[in-house]
Amino acid sequence: MKKRYGISLHLTKDYKTLVEKSLYLAFYYAKEGDLASCLKELKFAEDKIRDEKLKKDCRCLIGQIEYMVREGIKGKSVVEDIEKLLKLVK
């Protein structure tokens, strides 16, 4: 993330920034169709989320994407769901 944002996020304790940037990356990976990388970023964000409701929403989204990857389903609904999650974090 340092290349993209100019800060070393793994060294920070600012969890809100960490989660927000990770969700942005997941959003862009989903737009590109790279669901494996999207899933990786969502799992990273889930570990850092402190709010239980947001964590539950993130887990639900992770489950949905894992199912889509397993079944080979392509869809744009993931992008919209990540965008909704991003709005909740802000």
Model pLDDT, residue 2: 52
Angle at 65 between CA 9 and CA 51, to 5 degrees: 50
pLDDT at 18: 85
Mean pLDDT, range 14-19, rounded to an integer: 83
User: Would you list the domain boundaries of the chain?
Assistant: 2-89
Structure tokens belonging to residue 89: 């974090």
Q: What pLDDT, in 10s, does the model give residues 39-85?
A: 999 999 999 898 899 999 999 999 999 998 888 877 778 888 888 88
The dihedral built from the CA positions of residue 33, 37, 39 and 41, taken in this order, carries a sign that is negative
Whether the CB-CB separation of 86 and 27 falls below 8 Å is answered with yes
For the entire predicted model, the pTM comes to 0.80
Task: Report the distance separating Cα 59 and Cα 38, nearest Å.
Answer: 13
Assess contact for 23 and 66: CB atoms under 8 A: no
